[in-house]
């Protein structure tokens, strides 16, 4: 067998190039899968955090309002709405919560000012169930809600559900803070 003359050429064979490309593509594929999974878990965690924040806002607002509840308006109370008078700045003010299933949004209306908790299309289901005692007075309010994330992306949307009971601290039916203030002066 004849020896090949060494012309000072040193290089790599085609087989070596194919092996390097195959190994590189496997490493890049694994890195992309890892990044994709990390991004998906981060998105899921962010969705849950955003839903939890919205739920906390809704629960705290209802808790604050029901604590000062003076009397309910039975004709305006059903599974999708709850109306009542609450003590605000020494006066009774009408507050109404309404769940709009078509818009998937919970609305709060106080004296004509309506707000939606910045949760448009995120309230998957909501139910009010006020409990009335034998004398026809308000005892407590049961609320059940399910929220859904508003983030777009791959995978299923995140959901969070809760059931709560809210009690009023205004126990004396004839108590009016405005009257107490007038007497104190």
Nearest to 53 by CA among 150, 141, 137: 150
Q: Please write the tens of the pLDDT for every residue from 75-134.
A: 999 999 999 999 888 889 999 999 999 999 999 999 889 988 877 788 999 999 999 888
How far is 39 from 29, CA to CA, in rounded Å?
A: 15
Higher pLDDT, 7 or 173: 7
Q: Distance (Å, rounded) from C-alpha 134 to C-alpha 140?
A: 13
Distance of alpha carbon 136 from alpha carbon 132, whole angstroms: 6
How many Å apart are CA 45 and CA 42, to the nearest integer?
5
Q: What is the dihedral of CA 170, 168, 60, 127, to 10 degrees?
A: -140
What's the rounded mean pLDDT across residues 25-44?
91
pLDDT of residue 9: 66
Instruction: Read off the tokens for 77.
Output: 């109370």
Q: Tokens for 148, please give them.
A: 């859904």
Separation between Cα atoms, residue 137 and residue 182, nearest integer Å: 27
| pLDDT at residue 173, rounded to an integer | 46
Which is higher by pLDDT, 10 or 180? 10
Q: Is the CB of residue 82 less than 8 Å from the CB of residue 99?
A: no
Quote the DSSP letter at residue 79. T
Percent of the chain scored above 90 by pLDDT? 52
Output DSSP code: residue 151: -
Q: What is each CA distance from 96 to 20, 83, 86, 100, 183, in whole angstroms?
A: 68, 4, 10, 13, 30
Domain ranges of the chain: 24-172
């Amino acid at each position: 067998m004849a020896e090949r003359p060494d012309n000072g050429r040193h290089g790599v064979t085609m087989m070596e190039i194919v092996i390097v490309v195959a190994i590189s593509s496997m490493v890049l594929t694994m890195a992309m899968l890892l990044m994709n999974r990390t991004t998906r878990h981060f998105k899921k965690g962010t969705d849950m955090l955003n839903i939890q924040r919205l739920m906390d806002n809704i629960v705290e607002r209802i808790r604050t309002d029901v604590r000062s509840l003076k009397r309910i308006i039975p004709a305006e109370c059903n599974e999708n709405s709850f109306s009542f008078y609450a003590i605000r700045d020494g006066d009774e003010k009408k507050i109404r919560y309404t769940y709009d299933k078509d818009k998937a949004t919970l609305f709060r209306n106080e004296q004509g000012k309506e707000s939606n908790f910045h949760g448009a299309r995120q309230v998957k289901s909501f139910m009010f169930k006020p409990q009335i005692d034998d004398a026809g007075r308000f005892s407590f309010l049961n609320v059940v809600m399910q929220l859904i994330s508003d983030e777009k992306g791959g995978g299923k949307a995140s959901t969070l559900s809760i059931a709560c009971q809210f009690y009023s601290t205004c126990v004396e039916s004839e108590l009016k803070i405005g009257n107490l203030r007038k007497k104190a002066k």
